[in-house]
């Protein structure tokens, strides 16, 4: 009687979900503001159910693939309001495909920019080699690259 209200009945505090998913309380409240989450209350405090946790997972997944919060909300809303599961799946699929296409386009744009950049680099390297070969940057800037890899590129890379 005490032990069996385990999984489905379990509830979560905001902090627990934040820790589990590496989010901040501010973010969860923000999602709530935007209508993405609607946790229950116990007095003032938020109480997240199992379903809320699932929704949060979906939200974060959506973010990872570069969907905007409003787009995510639309998808979530579909799953709630409508009872025809297949129709929403079709819609989600469409959304995902669109996003995939957009990302592929972005990759192309990036490739174009990289081409321009490499040309510019090549020119600079050549002229520097002629004029002041000692000034050619070396391994030092690799730090920058490595440092950059540990950071917030995810945010910058996607959706804008």
Partner DNA sequence: GATCAAGTTGACGTTTACGTAAACGTTGAC
Partner DNA sequence: GTCAACGTTTACGTAAACGTCAACTTGATC
**Chain positions contacting its own copies, by CB under 8 A:** 61, 64-66, 85-87, 89-90, 92-94, 96-107, 109-114, 116-118, 120-121, 124-125, 127-128, 131-132, 135-137, 141, 144-145, 148-149, 153-160
**52 and 37 Cβ atoms separated by less than 8 Å:** yes
Our CA dihedral for 103, 108, 114, 117, rounded to 10 degrees, sits at -110
Cα radius of gyration rounded to whole Å, the chain: 23
Question: Min. distance of Cβ 11 from its own copies in angstroms?
Answer: 28
> Rule CB under 7 A: is residue 13 a binding residue for DNA?
yes
Taking CA 158 as the corner, what is the angle to CA 78 and CA 27, rounded to the nearest 5 degrees? 60
Contact pattern for DNA over residues 67 through 106, marking x by CB under 7 A: -xxx------------------------------------
**59 and 31 Cβ atoms separated by less than 8 Å:** yes
Q: Which residues bind DNA (CB under 7 A)?
A: 13-15, 24-27, 29-31, 43-46, 63, 68-70, 159-160
């Amino acid at each position: 009687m005490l032990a069996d209200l385990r999984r489905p009945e379990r509830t979560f505090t905001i902090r627990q979900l934040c820790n589990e998913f590496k989010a901040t309380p501010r973010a969860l409240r923000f999602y709530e503001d935007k209508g993405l989450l609607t946790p229950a209350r116990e007095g003032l405090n938020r109480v997240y159910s199992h379903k809320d946790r699932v929704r949060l997972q979906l939200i974060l997944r959506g973010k990872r693939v570069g969907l905007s919060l409003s787009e995510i909300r639309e998808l979530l809303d579909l799953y709630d309001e409508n009872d025809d599961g297949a129709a929403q799946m079709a819609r989600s699929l469409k959304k995902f495909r669109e996003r995939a296409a957009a990302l592929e386009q972005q990759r192309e744009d990036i490739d174009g920019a990289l081409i321009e950049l490499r040309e510019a680099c090549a020119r600079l390297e050549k002229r520097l080699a002629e004029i002041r070969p000692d000034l050619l940057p070396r391994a030092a800037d690799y730090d920058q690259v490595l440092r950059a890899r540990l950071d917030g590129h995810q945010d910058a890379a996607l959706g804008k």
